[in-house]
Amino acid sequence: MEFGCYNYTKVLGSAAVHYSRANAIYASYIKQKPKDVSVPLIGGTSSETIIPVLSYAEPYKYLNEKKMKRVTNVIRTGELEIEKQAKRPEFLNSAYATVRLVQSVMAGLCGQPCIRECAFVKNVSIPGLSYLTLPVLLGLNGVKRTYDIPELTQYESKLLEKAVKSISNDTDYAIKWIVEQLPEMKSSNCGMV
Protein backbone atom coordinates (compact mmCIF):
# COMPACT_ATOMS: atom_id res chain seq x y z
CA MET A 1 0.00 0.00 0.00
CA GLU A 2 1.63 3.16 -1.17
CA PHE A 3 -0.06 6.39 -0.13
CA GLY A 4 -2.81 4.35 1.54
CA CYS A 5 -4.08 2.69 -1.64
CA TYR A 6 -3.87 -0.79 -3.06
CA ASN A 7 -2.63 -1.18 -6.66
CA TYR A 8 -3.94 -4.49 -7.99
CA THR A 9 -1.63 -4.36 -11.04
CA LYS A 10 1.30 -4.95 -8.71
CA VAL A 11 -0.13 -7.97 -6.90
CA LEU A 12 -0.24 -11.43 -8.41
CA GLY A 13 -0.28 -14.91 -7.02
CA SER A 14 1.82 -17.61 -8.57
CA ALA A 15 0.20 -20.23 -10.76
CA ALA A 16 3.65 -20.94 -12.20
CA VAL A 17 3.87 -24.59 -11.13
CA HIS A 18 0.54 -25.38 -12.76
CA TYR A 19 1.41 -23.33 -15.86
CA SER A 20 4.76 -25.11 -16.30
CA ARG A 21 3.14 -28.49 -15.71
CA ALA A 22 0.26 -27.77 -18.10
CA ASN A 23 2.65 -26.74 -20.86
CA ALA A 24 4.93 -29.77 -20.32
CA ILE A 25 2.09 -32.30 -20.25
CA TYR A 26 0.26 -30.80 -23.23
CA ALA A 27 3.56 -30.64 -25.16
CA SER A 28 4.15 -34.34 -24.56
CA TYR A 29 0.67 -35.17 -25.88
CA ILE A 30 1.14 -33.18 -29.08
CA LYS A 31 4.84 -34.08 -29.44
CA GLN A 32 6.24 -30.55 -29.07
CA LYS A 33 8.75 -28.91 -26.75
CA PRO A 34 7.20 -27.29 -23.63
CA LYS A 35 8.74 -23.91 -24.53
CA ASP A 36 6.78 -24.00 -27.81
CA VAL A 37 3.32 -24.39 -26.27
CA SER A 38 1.03 -22.32 -24.08
CA VAL A 39 -1.95 -23.67 -22.16
CA PRO A 40 -4.07 -20.89 -20.63
CA LEU A 41 -5.15 -21.53 -17.05
CA ILE A 42 -8.19 -20.21 -15.21
CA GLY A 43 -9.64 -20.86 -11.77
CA GLY A 44 -7.64 -21.09 -8.57
CA THR A 45 -4.17 -22.29 -7.64
CA SER A 46 -4.89 -25.74 -6.21
CA SER A 47 -5.39 -29.11 -7.87
CA GLU A 48 -9.13 -28.86 -7.24
CA THR A 49 -9.55 -25.35 -8.65
CA ILE A 50 -7.06 -24.95 -11.52
CA ILE A 51 -8.54 -25.44 -14.99
CA PRO A 52 -6.32 -25.85 -18.06
CA VAL A 53 -8.19 -24.39 -21.04
CA LEU A 54 -7.05 -26.92 -23.62
CA SER A 55 -9.58 -25.59 -26.12
CA TYR A 56 -7.38 -22.45 -26.39
CA ALA A 57 -3.96 -24.09 -26.12
CA GLU A 58 -1.34 -22.96 -28.62
CA PRO A 59 -0.57 -24.61 -30.92
CA TYR A 60 -4.11 -25.94 -30.96
CA LYS A 61 -4.61 -29.65 -31.44
CA TYR A 62 -8.04 -31.23 -31.38
CA LEU A 63 -8.49 -33.61 -28.47
CA ASN A 64 -11.65 -35.67 -28.26
CA GLU A 65 -13.59 -35.35 -25.01
CA LYS A 66 -12.10 -38.49 -23.48
CA LYS A 67 -8.51 -37.39 -24.19
CA MET A 68 -9.25 -33.80 -23.08
CA LYS A 69 -10.55 -35.08 -19.73
CA ARG A 70 -7.51 -37.34 -19.30
CA VAL A 71 -4.99 -34.56 -20.10
CA THR A 72 -6.89 -32.12 -17.84
CA ASN A 73 -6.86 -34.62 -14.98
CA VAL A 74 -3.12 -35.31 -15.37
CA ILE A 75 -2.40 -31.55 -15.30
CA ARG A 76 -4.63 -30.95 -12.27
CA THR A 77 -3.39 -33.89 -10.20
CA GLY A 78 0.25 -33.92 -11.28
CA GLU A 79 1.53 -32.52 -7.98
CA LEU A 80 -0.35 -35.13 -5.97
CA GLU A 81 0.91 -37.92 -8.23
CA ILE A 82 4.53 -36.78 -7.91
CA GLU A 83 4.25 -36.58 -4.11
CA LYS A 84 2.69 -40.04 -3.97
CA GLN A 85 5.35 -41.66 -6.17
CA ALA A 86 8.36 -39.82 -4.75
CA LYS A 87 7.00 -39.74 -1.20
CA ARG A 88 8.03 -36.07 -0.97
CA PRO A 89 6.71 -32.73 -2.23
CA GLU A 90 7.83 -31.56 -5.64
CA PHE A 91 10.18 -28.83 -4.38
CA LEU A 92 12.31 -28.71 -7.52
CA ASN A 93 9.31 -28.14 -9.77
CA SER A 94 8.11 -25.37 -7.46
CA ALA A 95 11.54 -23.78 -7.40
CA TYR A 96 11.88 -23.92 -11.19
CA ALA A 97 8.39 -22.49 -11.71
CA THR A 98 9.01 -19.68 -9.21
CA VAL A 99 12.27 -18.72 -10.91
CA ARG A 100 10.49 -18.73 -14.27
CA LEU A 101 7.74 -16.45 -12.94
CA VAL A 102 10.26 -14.05 -11.38
CA GLN A 103 12.16 -13.95 -14.69
CA SER A 104 8.92 -13.12 -16.51
CA VAL A 105 8.04 -10.35 -14.03
CA MET A 106 11.56 -8.92 -14.32
CA ALA A 107 11.46 -9.08 -18.14
CA GLY A 108 8.17 -7.15 -18.09
CA LEU A 109 9.54 -4.58 -15.65
CA CYS A 110 12.56 -4.14 -17.94
CA GLY A 111 10.30 -3.37 -20.89
CA GLN A 112 10.44 -6.64 -22.78
CA PRO A 113 7.23 -6.88 -24.85
CA CYS A 114 4.66 -9.69 -24.83
CA ILE A 115 5.51 -11.40 -21.54
CA ARG A 116 2.60 -13.78 -20.95
CA GLU A 117 1.99 -15.76 -17.80
CA CYS A 118 -0.94 -17.23 -15.92
CA ALA A 119 -1.35 -15.76 -12.45
CA PHE A 120 -3.84 -15.37 -9.61
CA VAL A 121 -4.99 -11.76 -10.11
CA LYS A 122 -7.81 -9.30 -9.40
CA ASN A 123 -10.93 -10.62 -11.09
CA VAL A 124 -13.66 -8.76 -12.95
CA SER A 125 -14.85 -11.76 -15.01
CA ILE A 126 -16.99 -13.53 -12.39
CA PRO A 127 -19.16 -11.36 -10.12
CA GLY A 128 -18.58 -11.94 -6.42
CA LEU A 129 -15.14 -13.49 -6.91
CA SER A 130 -12.26 -11.18 -5.91
CA TYR A 131 -9.37 -13.09 -7.48
CA LEU A 132 -8.96 -15.69 -10.18
CA THR A 133 -6.16 -17.38 -12.10
CA LEU A 134 -6.17 -15.88 -15.59
CA PRO A 135 -3.72 -15.35 -18.43
CA VAL A 136 -1.96 -11.99 -18.02
CA LEU A 137 0.40 -9.77 -19.97
CA LEU A 138 3.21 -8.36 -17.84
CA GLY A 139 4.79 -4.98 -18.48
CA LEU A 140 6.71 -2.03 -17.05
CA ASN A 141 4.18 -1.45 -14.27
CA GLY A 142 3.31 -5.03 -13.38
CA VAL A 143 0.16 -6.60 -14.80
CA LYS A 144 -0.39 -4.70 -18.04
CA ARG A 145 -3.45 -6.68 -19.15
CA THR A 146 -5.62 -9.40 -17.71
CA TYR A 147 -7.26 -11.53 -20.38
CA ASP A 148 -10.92 -12.44 -20.10
CA ILE A 149 -12.11 -15.98 -19.64
CA PRO A 150 -12.34 -17.40 -23.17
CA GLU A 151 -15.39 -19.24 -24.43
CA LEU A 152 -15.15 -22.56 -22.64
CA THR A 153 -16.21 -26.04 -23.64
CA GLN A 154 -19.04 -27.55 -21.62
CA TYR A 155 -16.52 -29.65 -19.68
CA GLU A 156 -14.30 -26.65 -18.86
CA SER A 157 -17.37 -24.63 -17.79
CA LYS A 158 -18.44 -27.37 -15.37
CA LEU A 159 -14.97 -27.48 -13.83
CA LEU A 160 -15.03 -23.70 -13.33
CA GLU A 161 -18.54 -23.80 -11.80
CA LYS A 162 -17.37 -26.42 -9.29
CA ALA A 163 -14.22 -24.44 -8.44
CA VAL A 164 -15.82 -21.01 -7.79
CA LYS A 165 -16.95 -21.66 -4.19
CA SER A 166 -13.54 -23.04 -3.14
CA ILE A 167 -11.74 -20.14 -4.83
CA SER A 168 -14.02 -17.67 -3.04
CA ASN A 169 -13.48 -19.33 0.36
CA ASP A 170 -9.70 -19.51 -0.13
CA THR A 171 -9.52 -15.87 -1.26
CA ASP A 172 -11.68 -14.63 1.63
CA TYR A 173 -9.45 -16.49 4.09
CA ALA A 174 -6.26 -15.02 2.55
CA ILE A 175 -7.64 -11.47 2.54
CA LYS A 176 -8.72 -11.80 6.17
CA TRP A 177 -5.26 -13.06 7.12
CA ILE A 178 -3.51 -10.17 5.31
CA VAL A 179 -5.79 -7.57 6.90
CA GLU A 180 -4.98 -9.04 10.33
CA GLN A 181 -1.24 -8.78 9.54
CA LEU A 182 -1.31 -5.14 8.37
CA PRO A 183 -0.90 -3.52 11.81
CA GLU A 184 2.06 -5.81 12.56
CA MET A 185 3.64 -5.08 9.15
CA LYS A 186 3.26 -1.34 9.63
CA SER A 187 4.76 -1.42 13.12
CA SER A 188 7.75 -3.52 12.02
CA ASN A 189 8.68 -0.94 9.37
CA CYS A 190 9.35 -3.77 6.92
CA GLY A 191 8.65 -1.58 3.90
CA MET A 192 5.82 -3.77 2.63
CA VAL A 193 3.04 -1.33 3.50
For 7-44, what is each residue's pLDDT tens digit?
A: 778 888 888 888 988 998 999 999 999 999 999 999 99
Does the structure show a pLDDT above 80 at 71? yes
pLDDT at res. 77: 86
pTM for the structure as a whole? 0.82
Is the separation of the CB atoms in 57 and 27 below 8 Å? no
Report how far residue 101's alpha carbon sits from residue 136's, in angstroms, rounded to the nearest whole number: 12
pLDDT at res. 190: 44
Amino acid, res. 82: I
CA distances to 42, 44, 157, 174 from 115, rounded to whole Å, are 17, 21, 27, 27
Report how far residue 77's alpha carbon sits from residue 72's, in angstroms, rounded to the nearest whole number: 9
For 101-148, what is each residue's pLDDT tens digit?
A: 899 999 999 999 989 999 999 998 898 898 999 999 999 999 999 999
Average pLDDT, the chain: 85
> Is the alpha carbon torsion for 6, 98, 176, 182 positive or negative?
negative
When pLDDT is cut at 50, 70 and 90, the band that residue 60 belongs to is: very high
For the chain, domains (ranges, CATH) are 8-188 (3.90.110.10)
